[in-house]
Amino acid sequence: MTRFTVNNKPIEYKMDPDTPLLWALRDASNLTGTKYGCGTGECGACMVIVDGAARPACQMSIASLEGTFVTTIEGLAKDRGHPVQQALIAANVPQCGYCIPGVVMSAAVLLQGNRSPSEADIKGAIPNICRCGIYPRLVDAISHAAS
Ligand code: FES
């Protein structure tokens, strides 16, 4: 049994301790905003915040998270009210939308530590892959969210 906190609620997963967090969130907690893309830690679709850092949920076993604080896109802000979400909506950044939860989590962590990121800061902090090619609008929107 593994115990940690998800979106400010203590949780115990009675699953194989090697289960990736991504599947515990999606299958046991019905937190389906965290997406599966590559399963290898490359695409960022599954990005969540663990103890203040953006981390790919497909690459962390639930056993490795004992005692941590995990935030998913569902717990980031009520009614899509996070400044990053508001900026992305205002700038019509999402296209298909699949990568957006992970992008938001990466950007939220960036802005926690840097309130005036440069374009290079943004590109360096958002490793997420988007097949729709939203990157130019995304950089503009995150810059706007930071200002
Ligand atoms: Fe986790 Fe791609 S699904 S990084």
Do 62 and 108 lie in one domain? The reply is no
Pocket test for ligand 1, best of 21, 26, 35, 38 (most atoms within 8 A of CB): 38
Q: Mean pLDDT throughout 32-48? A: 98
Residue 117 pLDDT > 90:
yes
Phi-psi bin for 97: left (phi > 0), alpha (psi -120 to 50), beta? left
Of 31, 32, 22, nearest in space to 61 by CA: 22
Q: How confident is the model at residue 47 (pLDDT cuts 50, 70, 90)?
A: very high
- Structural domain ending residue among the three candidates 52, 75, 98: 75
Residue 145 pLDDT > 90:
no
pTM above 0.90, yes or no: yes
- Structural domain ending residue among the three candidates 75, 96, 118: 75
Do 94 and 61 lie in one domain? The reply is no
Q: How confident is the model at residue 72 (pLDDT cuts 50, 70, 90)?
A: very high
Residue 7 CA to residue 87 CA, distance in Å, equals 22
Q: HSE (CB half, 13 Å, CA atoms) of 78? A: 0
* CATH code of the domain containing 85: 1.10.150.120
Q: For the chain, how many structural domains are there in total?
A: 2
Do 7 and 66 lie in one domain? The reply is yes
Residue appearing with tokens 């515990």: 24
Do 60 and 21 lie in one domain? The reply is yes
Do 46 and 101 lie in one domain? The reply is no
Residue 79 CA to residue 48 CA, distance in Å, equals 18
Pocket test for ligand 1, best of 19, 46, 99, 126 (most atoms within 8 A of CB): 46
Do 13 and 65 lie in one domain? The reply is yes
Residue 1 pLDDT > 80:
no
Is 92 strand, coil or helix?
Answer: coil
Q: Mean pLDDT throughout 92-105? A: 97
Q: How confident is the model at residue 147 (pLDDT cuts 50, 70, 90)?
A: confident
Do 71 and 93 lie in one domain? The reply is no
Residue 144 pLDDT > 90:
no
**What is the span of the domain harbouring residue 134?**
78-146
CB-CB neighbours of 94 under 10 Å:
18
Does residue 121 line the site of ligand 1, with CB under 6 A?
Answer: no
Residue appearing with tokens 């900026």: 87
Is 23 strand, coil or helix?
Answer: helix
Assigned token pair, 93: 């950044």
**Average pLDDT across the chain, whole number:** 96
Q: How confident is the model at residue 2 (pLDDT cuts 50, 70, 90)?
A: confident
- Structural domain ending residue among the three candidates 75, 98, 132: 75
Do 70 and 85 lie in one domain? The reply is no
